[in-house]
A and B are shown apart, each in its own frame.
Chain A
Amino acid sequence: MKINVMQDVLQANDKIAEDNRRIFQKNNNLVLNLMSSPGSGKTCLLERTAALLQGKLRLGVIVGDCETTRDADRISKYNIPAIQLTTGTACHLDANMVSYALPHLKLEELDIVVVENVGNLVCPAGFIVGEDYKIMILSVTEGDEKPLKYPMMFNQSKLLLINKIDLVQYTNFSLEEARANAHKVNPEMDIIEISCTTGAGLDQWIKWLTDHYWQKLKGAAHA
């Protein structure tokens, strides 16, 4: 006998993501789901961002790693709230894990919340956590063909930060090639070249961040 089911397999995750989104919305938080390979500079970017946003916008971070609280410890040094989620063997953050972090952040005192996902170019793209946008980092030491090899993540990201451009001369990474490959799988993607070491391009990143924050706030006021 055949039974009709027609149920979304990730319904449980998507429902919790919607709950998270409502909580963020109530607190006027711009929420970004930051994804990349391990070692591309996610935590370093957040350290620089924390310093650059000081006195402008209030940042909070939820960070996922398989083990240790090293990332949250690094970010906390900049006097911003950082909650570490240790996922054990899980390869990505899902909405449920993120929901556990929310009571530990004073969201009403924050403007921007970054969810730093587990370093992985595949799985995090498949799960929404309640974010406004997915954004990602590709560092020049990883190779300019990565958008074609891992299209799903590049396709779903609003912004691509190409990091470690101070090292580009020591690699065979082509910035033009990387841009073309990223735009092939996501023609509307914003791309900013940065170096968290030298600070190059970080002003553009901060502008992107503040522009999108005010855009969201304006949208919320109209809603």
Chain B
Amino acid sequence: MHEMGIAQNILDIAVAAAQKEGASRITRINLIAGELRGIEPIQLTFCFDIVAKDTLAGGAYLNIETVPVMGHCNDCQADFQIEDYAYVCPKCGSTKIEVTGGTELRLKDIEID
């Protein structure tokens, strides 16, 4: 359900950036989505196509690059990828883990005509 709101935010940011450049249309939007944001690419693309219709971004391709959850061990200082939500250091077994990546939801760039 909340994919619709996120799609609208993406559209607003992209259109504002495109208008600043005097673009006639947006052809591609590159989005970075951390795994922890729980974004479903199929749903988000579906919602985006609906809200983008009849705007500068109508028909634009929404490219979603998913980035993994990254952790830092506060005991042995190791950096590693967290898979399947297992918040345990693979090196020393500590559970004092700081999440250093995977929460981002960022519009990276757009391609315009």
Contact = CB atoms under 8 A, between A and B. Distances in A.
Nearest to A10: B105
B1 A6 contact: no
A6 B107 contact: yes
Interface string A101-123: 00000000000000000000011
Contacts, number: 85
Interface string A1-25: 1111111111010000000000000
A54 B5 CA distance: 39
A91 B5 CA distance: 11
Nearest to A185: B85
A29 B18 CA distance: 42
A155 B95 CA distance: 13
A128 to B, nearest CB: 11
Nearest to B96: A188
B106 A92 contact: no
B97 A187 contact: yes
Chain A interface: which size bin?
20 to 34
A152 B87 contact: no
A185 B83 CA distance: 10
B102 to A, nearest CB: 10
Given A125-B38, A184-B85, A5 B110 contact: yes
Interface of B: 1-2, 5-6, 9-10, 13-14, 17-18, 21, 23, 31, 36-38, 85-88, 95-97, 104-113
